[in-house]
Structure 1
Amino acid sequence: MINYYFHNDPSKLPDYSEDCHPVQLYKTHDYDKTKHSKASRSLLEKVRKLGVPIDADAIDLVTIASAVTAADSFELRQKAADAWSRQMHLHIPVKDENLWTLLSDKLVSLLNFLTGDQWKFTFFQSTMELPKPINSNNAKKICNSLKGLNSVCLFSGGLDSAVGAIDILNAKSKYKPLLVSHTYKGDGEKQRAIKSLLKSDFAELSYSIYPSLMEPLKGKTDISMRGRSFNFLAMAVLGIIALRNANDGSTIDTIIVPENGYISINPPLTRRRIGSHSTRTTHPFFLNKLEDLLRDAGFHVKFVNPYQFKTKGEMLAECKDQVAIAKAIPLSVSCSHWHRRNIQCGYCVPCLIRRASVHHANFKKDAPYENHNIKPIIKEYKKRDDIQSVQAAIIRLNKSKDYRGWLRQSGNLPSDPIIREKLESTIERGLAEVESFLKAATV
């Protein structure tokens, strides 16, 4: 089991060894790239620029989430015994050591489900000074922009989050959101372009983690990034705390997670994809477990997915501002390989579902793809796995019609039979969209 040690003060970090990886968090001290890896260097400054005080428990949460994201990035799955499930022991400084030690088993259970790894946590007392709001005209302006808002909405720059933001801000909605977004290299410009299509006033909190390996270890980082959603949701919780403090301690609690129901459930296409090989970012079971953990930690929030029973194609077709979403489609990013080449591949599962949704909703203009014509991909050994997996699922389910059994393979589900029936119908319609697209593409 690899030990990851985190601290904002580099003098408190151990030296690197084969089973000990030191990571410096935040930008409170100078950084020596020859001795330590790093993560979340700019995050505290982003928090300070909100212009409102942020509680210690929220800082603890994002510190834990930053550590999880860093370890998830640094530890290559190919080094694991089964080339997937890793074993990681994280040592993390927090203000409330007793609370998080008490909750560590729940945290482990949550992350094991999310990433398919074996996590272990040791918490110790943080000596870091809490970030204080910046007293500047710009910070005051940002603080004022938080007043009157009543929710947080995740905004990733993907197609689903574009629909979510447009439906809320370009139509009559009870929600007045703070948009929380994570930026990767190349994402920021696209996110800003989509935000320019939004018609109502909103505030935003854009942040980055940017885990970076120390110089002696420079090389590949893990691209599966199963743990990043925990960080995204932790920042959304911090956003809720900012809204409460800016609005005189109000009971704001809603975090909107716009995700189509097919991807939310993400049923495994083949037997070898059962388990965490299929992402569980917004799976209802994961969000329910996270809500429980946060409640025990003193946070009272609720996650709301307005599109839990919609396919991606239905989200596009029913978007409340068709002009805006037509402009947003070419600007949005869905690809799982995007960060390798800064262009969407066109053949991974997220790309196939995206392209199927655009086809279903009859939009003519999509984003550029590295492989616009996917028919030749079938002959390429290194690229064809996702398409073949989708085809195998279509053939199997067209024959068996066992969508209920397929749904159960995605993991624990809500006990309500009506909700289960709706989820079953959603994944059936979602797969049908992909089948229709593949037929049109003559694959």
Structure 2
Amino acid sequence: MTNFYFNHDPAQLPEYSENCHPVQIFNTHPHDSSKHSRASGSLLKQVRELGISVNTEVIDLVTIATAVTAAETFERREDAADAWSRVMHLHIPVTDEITWNKLSNRLGSTLHFLTGDQWEFKFSKTTLQVPKPIISKKSKARLNSLKGLNSVCLFSGGLDSAVGAIDILNGKSQYKPLLLSHAYRGDGVKQSDIKKLLNSNYGELSYSISPRLMTRLKGKTDVTMRGRSFNFLAMAVLGISALRNANGDNSISTIIVPENGYISINPPLTRRRIGSHSTRTTHPYFLSRLEELLEDAGFHVKFVNPYQFKTKGEMLAECVDQASIAKAVPLSVSCSHWHRKHMQCGHCVPCLIRRSSIHHAGFSKDAKYVSQDLTSVHKEKDTRDDLHSMQAAIIRLAKTQNYKSWIRQSGSLPEDQETRNNLESTIKRGLKEVENFLEANKF
């Protein structure tokens, strides 16, 4: 087990050892990269530049999310006993350590479902001061852009988030959103290009945690990123706090999570993919557990996925602005390997779902893929696993038709039978889209 210690003040951090990893968070003090790793160096400045105060408890949540993201980045899965499930103990300073220590077991359990790792938390009292808003022409303009907004919408630069933003801002919607983005390297340009297709006014908040190892540990970090949605959603809660304070309206609570229903459930294609080996970033069980946890921590927010019962192909085909989404398709990124080569691979599960959805919607223009022709993928041991697994699932489900059992393997489902039936139908239609795409291309 690795003990990760986090603090904004490097004087409060222990020395590095084999089982002790000190991480400086935020930029309130000079950073010595020879002694400490680092995360969220510029985050508090980005919060201050909103031009509005955010609540103290929100900074606690963002601190926790920063710690989780840094720990899962620095601790490589290949070093775990089973080469997957890591054991990490996080020591995190917060303002309300009493509440978070009471919730620590539930937090660890929720993150275990999301990442497959064993999480332990110990919270102590922080000395960090709540960041004060920057008063400038730029921050005043940012503050004005928050007024009149009533929701936060996750905006990643992916195809689903592009549909979500276009449906809301180019159609008739009750939502006036703050678009929340994570500024991964290379993503900013994609997000900016898609935003040019949006017709209505919206707010913007782009953030970066950017975990960086201390110099003595320079080397590979983990790229599985199973906990990224916790990070994203924690920042969305911060966005809600900013909107409430900017508008004087504490009823603002909606966080829109645009994700197609197939990937949201992401049923395991093979037995070895059961559990966190298939991503669960927007699984309804995770979202409901996190929403309940945040409620007990004093955050009154509601996660809404308008596309829970739609396939990715249906999202594209039914988008309110077909001209804009057609332009967004080649600008967007769906690939799980994107950050390795900054080009979509074309053969991972998200790429296969994406390509099938574009085929279903009848769009002719798409982004370039490393494996443009899937015929060659069959012969490549390092790239064919997802394609073969998808084909095996199609054949297996065609024989058994046991979709109910299959989708339960990805995690607990809502008790409501109508919801379960809708989820089952969505998964069935989503898999059919892939089957049709593969058949059309003679794979």
TM-score calculated relative to the size of structure 2: 0.99
Structure 1 residue 401, shift from structure 2 partner: 0.7
Contact 1:7 1:25 in 2 (8 A): yes
1:132 alignment partner in structure 2:
132
- Aligned residue runs from structure 1 range 3-22, under 5 A: 3-22=3-22
CA distance in 1, matches of 2:250, 2:91: 34
Output one character per residue of 1:178-221: Cα deviation in whole Å (capped at 9) or x when no partner: 00110111110110000010000000100011111111111111
CA distance in 1, matches of 2:386, 2:28: 43
Structure 1 residue 441, shift from structure 2 partner: 2.2
Output one character per residue of 1:4-58: Cα deviation in whole Å (capped at 9) or x when no partner: 0001111111111110111110111111111111111111001000111011100
CA distance in 2, matches of 1:250, 1:140: 21
1:395 alignment partner in structure 2:
395
Which secondary structure does the structure 2 equivalent of 1:103 belong to?
helix
CA distance in 2, matches of 1:5, 1:163: 40
Which secondary structure does the structure 2 equivalent of 1:28 belong to?
coil
CA distance in 2, matches of 1:65, 1:125: 17
Contact 1:94 1:124 in 2 (8 A): yes
Which secondary structure does the structure 1 equivalent of 2:124 belong to?
strand
2:104 alignment partner in structure 1:
104
AA aligned opposite 1:104:
S
Output one character per residue of 1:224-262: Cα deviation in whole Å (capped at 9) or x when no partner: 100111000000000000000001143100000000000
CA distance in 2, matches of 1:376, 1:28: 52
Output one character per residue of 1:97-124: Cα deviation in whole Å (capped at 9) or x when no partner: 1010011011011101000010000101
2:54 alignment partner in structure 1:
54
Which secondary structure does the structure 2 equivalent of 1:38 belong to?
strand
AA aligned opposite 1:360:
H
- Aligned residue runs from structure 1 range 328-339, under 5 A: 328-339=328-339
CA distance in 2, matches of 1:335, 1:424: 24
2:169 alignment partner in structure 1:
169
Which secondary structure does the structure 2 equivalent of 1:134 belong to?
coil
1:66 alignment partner in structure 2:
66
- Aligned residue runs from structure 1 range 184-223, under 5 A: 184-223=184-223
Which secondary structure does the structure 2 equivalent of 1:104 belong to?
helix
CA distance in 2, matches of 1:188, 1:270: 34
Which secondary structure does the structure 2 equivalent of 1:276 belong to?
helix
Contact 1:375 1:441 in 2 (8 A): no
How many residues align? The count is: 443
Output one character per residue of 1:302-357: Cα deviation in whole Å (capped at 9) or x when no partner: 00000000000000000000000000000000001001101000100000000000
2:44 alignment partner in structure 1:
44
The answer to whether residue 364 in structure 2 is matched with residue 364 in structure 1 is: yes
1:253 alignment partner in structure 2:
253
1:159 alignment partner in structure 2:
159
Structure 1 residue 272, shift from structure 2 partner: 0.5
Contact 1:57 1:96 in 2 (8 A): yes
CA distance in 2, matches of 1:273, 1:142: 44
Which secondary structure does the structure 1 equivalent of 2:127 belong to?
coil
CA distance in 2, matches of 1:363, 1:60: 44
CA distance in 2, matches of 1:237, 1:149: 14
Contact 1:316 1:361 in 2 (8 A): yes
Structure 1 residue 440, shift from structure 2 partner: 1.9
Contact 1:313 1:358 in 2 (8 A): yes
Output one character per residue of 1:263-282: Cα deviation in whole Å (capped at 9) or x when no partner: 00000000000101111111
Structure 1 residue 129, shift from structure 2 partner: 1.2
Instruction: Structure 1 unaligned segments of length 5 or more: list them.
Output: none
1:271 alignment partner in structure 2:
271
CA distance in 2, matches of 1:238, 1:232: 10
TM-score calculated relative to the size of structure 1: 0.99
AA aligned opposite 1:35:
K
CA distance in 1, matches of 2:163, 2:126: 40
Structure 1 residue 442, shift from structure 2 partner: 1.8
CA distance in 2, matches of 1:84, 1:405: 25
Contact 1:34 1:216 in 2 (8 A): yes
Output one character per residue of 1:390-431: Cα deviation in whole Å (capped at 9) or x when no partner: 011011001111111111111100000000000000000001
CA RMSD in angstroms comes to 0.7
CA distance in 1, matches of 2:82, 2:394: 28
Which secondary structure does the structure 2 equivalent of 1:394 belong to?
helix
CA distance in 2, matches of 1:438, 1:18: 49
Percent identity reads: 69
Which secondary structure does the structure 2 equivalent of 1:85 belong to?
coil
2:340 alignment partner in structure 1:
340
CA distance in 2, matches of 1:112, 1:408: 17
2:315 alignment partner in structure 1:
315
CA distance in 2, matches of 1:310, 1:262: 8
2:295 alignment partner in structure 1:
295
The answer to whether residue 406 in structure 2 is matched with residue 384 in structure 1 is: no
CA distance in 2, matches of 1:248, 1:409: 44
Structure 1 residue 137, shift from structure 2 partner: 1.1
The answer to whether residue 244 in structure 2 is matched with residue 244 in structure 1 is: yes
Structure 1 residue 285, shift from structure 2 partner: 0.5
Instruction: Structure 2 unaligned segments of length 5 or more: list them.
Output: none
